[in-house]
Amino acid sequence: MHDLVLKGGFIVDGSGAPGFEGDIAIDGARISVVDPGGKLGLQGLREIDVRGKLVTPGFVDIHTHYDAQVSWDPYLTPSSWHGCTTVVMGNCGVGFAPVKADRRAWLVELMEGVEDIPGSAMTEGITWNWESFPDYLNAIAAQPHAIDFGCQVTHGALRGYVMGDRGAKNEDATEEDKAEMYRLTLEALRAGALGFSTSRTMLHKSKSGEPVPGTFAKEDEIFAIGAALKDAGHGVFQLAAEHLDAPRELTWMRALAAQTGRTVSLNLNQTPWGPDVWREVIGIVEAAQAAGENVLVQVPGRSIGVLLGFRTTAHPFVASKTFQGLADLPWEVQREKLQDASIRAQILADEPMDLGPFANFVTRAFAQMFLFERGSTGIEDYEPDPETSLEKRARAAGVSPGELAYDAMLADGAEGLLYLPLFNYAYGDLDFLRTLHLHAHTRLGLSDAGAHCGAICDGGMPTFMLTHWTRDRKRGPKMALERVVFRQSREAAMLYGLADRGLLAPGLRADINVIDYDGLSFDRAEVAFDFPAGGRRLVQRARGYRHTFVAGIEIVTDDSFTGAMPGKLVRGPQNPQ
């Protein structure tokens, strides 16, 4: 008699092998039996009939930014809404440990600038009861959580702690600085850090506009830190590279992987400024792998889609002087004024102020901007036809793109949204992403769950991967369900050495999703103010997760939390038993 038996589900076990109908028995925190065909007649103290449902491992999201949210949100939403049972945070070089008391506000501003997480929410929500990285891990491990989480040590915090203002200003590290960063990184890894992360892209800047610490770090500093991963015997070196510089920088990444024996994981997106650079990057990665250098690229599931509305971080009228005069008014007052025809005319007539090249592009790229509409599947279309851009719709309607954008945002009580596929959509389709997802040297990541709260709502990536890529896609080939489940379970887990999860097999953790695959869907994306201090974020819930188990304990039933808190801090690689 087992603790729990899931009976008759369609099991996609996370290995990539074809799915099959069968039963799964769970005892305690582990899977005890997987029975293809249900031939063993398994019995349990609790039995759940899951016939007609998809049964998968719990999903593993390797690229999140819950470093602050882990302090106040036991559910780590949105990830736990979307079948994730393990998340990895501390990406892109920004985090909160180690930290001296006088650097706390600076780290908050760094995170706010890079990841668009409300500073007021972090200031109110974080309880600073740590200085060292091991103390940070102990502090967050002591709080209840529904799902498992792991953390990486970050270059920004490390430089700020060791070098103070010199680190913040991206000055060169001295020999003493490098030795101390090595020591602290090794200490963090031995305490349970899953890796180290840095950023070298000019898109990542602090709230004050300064490039993040480590952006220009010389190779001797990088290799000194990399030596800590070698000596610890585990850990991923994760980085956000400047897109156009990635082919050149892969030279030192290859050398780092060869010298340390550790995995180097590089973020890869397709940008409008270099739409075919990804081909060169993949070619270099293939050469690295052939030479025994474990360099991988981390790719997203869809375009990095900026949502634009009157209540989000960016929209086509943020540079209007008239709009800026309204921006700080209470929302009900602001909404009433936005609906006034004379104010609409003033905003449309304003000459926009110069926000800089990147912000100008994001707010005025009408040729790459779309109405955020629900398609025939009832889910918003994240692969819109380029012929339906605001620019082309406006031309056909005989109006300006600005007028069309304004009226679309004015819908739903001025809460309407537009969609700007910023990256990964240079040619108007996602076929290049499909190519990358079928490639052996890529990993699914870059959901940025917990971050870009006022602009991007991609934390539901696991649900999107299932609905779009395996079921609903119309504008190109799909992917096999088994491939997608493998991508976001076993393959993702093994990148960080988490060999005890991501696979439905005897002896492994009972992290399991039971999904109404045919009915799987999203709620509409919307702006919420549910962070501490009323902090804003975009949210999008899933519909169709009938059961989610973490270590054999049910945390979700019919898309609602049960209140159970079995989640733990994952300290370093994990063995199957």
Q: What is the pLDDT of residues 424-445, one digit of tens each?
A: 999 999 999 999 999 999 999 9
Compute the half-sphere exposure of residue 153: CA atoms within 13 Å on the CB side of its CA.
35
pLDDT of residue 24: 98
- Nearest partner of 94 among 173, 203, 235, 233, judged by Cα: 203
The predicted-structure confidence for 494-546, as pLDDT tens digits, reads as follows 999 999 999 999 999 999 999 999 999 999 999 999 999 999 999 999 999 99
| DSSP single-letter state for residue 208 | T
Backbone angles phi, psi at 264, to 5 degrees: -105, 125
CATH number of 60-303+428-495: 3.20.20.140
DSSP, collapsed to helix, strand or coil, labels residue 196 as strand
Q: Around Cβ 14, how many Cβ atoms within 10 Å?
A: 28
Pairwise CA distance, residues 210 & 342, whole Å:
39
Q: Around Cβ 1, how many Cβ atoms within 10 Å?
A: 9
The predicted-structure confidence for 385-412, as pLDDT tens digits, reads as follows 999 999 999 999 999 999 999 999 999 9
Cut 0.95: pTM above it? yes
The beta-strand segments (E) located in 309-352 are: none
Residues 6 or more apart whose Cβ sits within 8 Å of residue 558: 545, 546
- Nearest partner of 536 among 36, 118, 148, judged by Cα: 118
Q: Which residues of 261-285 are buried (b: 16+ CB within 10 A; e: fewer)?
A: ebbbbbbbbbbeebeebbeebbebb
- Nearest partner of 115 among 181, 1, 197, judged by Cα: 197
The predicted-structure confidence for 214-272, as pLDDT tens digits, reads as follows 999 999 999 999 999 999 999 999 999 999 999 999 999 999 999 999 999 999 999 99
Averaged over 301-313, what is the pLDDT? 96
All structural domains of the chain with their residue ranges = 2-57+510-561, 60-303+428-495, 306-423
**Is the fold of 2-57+510-561 the same as that of 60-303+428-495?**
no
Residues 6 or more apart whose Cβ sits within 8 Å of residue 269: 243, 278, 299, 300, 304, 423, 424, 446
- Nearest partner of 13 among 503, 346, 489, 577, judged by Cα: 503
The predicted-structure confidence for 342-375, as pLDDT tens digits, reads as follows 999 999 999 999 999 999 999 999 999 999 988 7
Could you tell me the pLDDT band of residue 377, with boundaries at 50, 70 and 90?
A: confident
Residues 6 or more apart whose Cβ sits within 8 Å of residue 500: 508, 509, 574, 575, 576, 577
β-pair type (545-550, 553-557)? antiparallel
Residue 544 near residue 81 (C-beta atoms within 8 A): no
The predicted-structure confidence for 57-91, as pLDDT tens digits, reads as follows 999 999 999 999 999 999 999 999 999 999 999 99
Residue 10 near residue 21 (C-beta atoms within 8 A): yes
Whether the predicted pLDDT of 376 surpasses 80: no
CATH number of 2-57+510-561: 2.30.40.10
Residue 231 near residue 198 (C-beta atoms within 8 A): no
The predicted-structure confidence for 179-226, as pLDDT tens digits, reads as follows 999 999 999 999 999 999 999 999 999 999 999 999 999 999 999 999
Whether the predicted pLDDT of 577 surpasses 80: no
Extract the tokens encoding 183: 């020591």
Averaged over 443-453, what is the pLDDT? 97
Instruction: Give me the long-range contacts of 127-133 (CB less than 8 A, separation at least 24).
Output: 127/71, 128/99, 128/101, 128/104, 130/97, 130/99, 131/97, 131/98, 131/99, 131/100, 131/101, 132/97, 132/98, 132/184, 132/187, 133/97, 133/98, 133/184, 133/187, 133/188, 133/191, 133/193
The predicted-structure confidence for 140-176, as pLDDT tens digits, reads as follows 999 999 999 999 999 999 999 999 999 999 999 999 9
State percent of the chain over pLDDT 70: 100
